[in-house]
Amino acid sequence: MRIQDAASVMKSNIEEVDRMSKTIESLANFSYYESNISLLECKPIDLAHLAQYLIEKIKVFAEKKSIGIEVKTEPIKILGDQAAIEEMYLNILKNSIRFTNPGGYIYVQVSSFKDQATISIRDTGIGIAPKDLPYVFEPFYKSTEIKIHNKTSAGLGLAIVKKIVERHNGLIQIESWPNKGTLISISLQMSF
């Protein structure tokens, strides 16, 4: 075997191990949030501040694809598990970046109405086909777009997001338009 061939095989093996590690981590996270015995460490979280902080952390990935991110927030606090809420935000934001074409946009809004905090994340990405929408929160479900554009996905990201929202007694909704984008809206009880 030539050195170039061996290097290619090694690179492929490393990529496969990385994919398997991410799948195992996603499975562990899904099981943790699905379990009724796992306890959330709830404390006050400023959703707007957390959104801005996490966007700064992942902005480099959006910039690599020339994707703009627009943020509109107001200070809103909830009682929640910070690690879980971070994972919720990051799963949605990473999906938005992954499935938005270069030159697109992601809009993040954190607002309130009465006693509800609302997080809206909308992108100008490839969207989700209407036939796939009822199933996107199911574990291991992969829409047609994911099968085409992201062959490494385990199909657990949005299932984890939904479990996190449910564990915080919240609601999550998704709307999507093929070739126009996706909107995910999350409502959580505010703390005062």
Residues in the chain, total: 192
The pLDDT of residue 8? 65
Which tokens belong to 64?
A: 């690599």
The phi-psi region of residue 106 (left if phi > 0; otherwise alpha if psi is between -120 and 50; otherwise beta) is beta
**pTM of this structure:** 0.79
In the chain the first and final C-alpha atoms are separated, in Å, by 66
Q: Which pLDDT score is estimated for 154?
A: 60
Q: Cα-flanking dihedrals φ and ψ of residue 16, to 5°?
A: -65, -40
CATH class of 3-189: alpha beta
Of 68-72, 139-143, 159-163, the poorest mean pLDDT is in: 139-143
pLDDT at 40 over 80: no
Going from N- to C-terminal start, the domains of the chain cover: 3-189
List, for residues 93-131, the tens digit of each pLDDT value.
Answer: 999 999 999 999 999 999 998 899 999 999 999 998 899
Q: From the CB of residue 105, how many other CB atoms can be counted at a distance below 10 Å? A: 16
C-alpha distances out from residue 173 to 76, 115, 134, 162, Å: 20, 18, 10, 9
For 143, which DSSP code? -
| pLDDT tens, position by position, 3-31 | 776 566 566 556 665 555 555 565 555 55
Tabulate helix, strand, coil % of the chain (nearest 5): 45, 25, 30
HSE on the CB side for 163, CA within 13 Å? 23
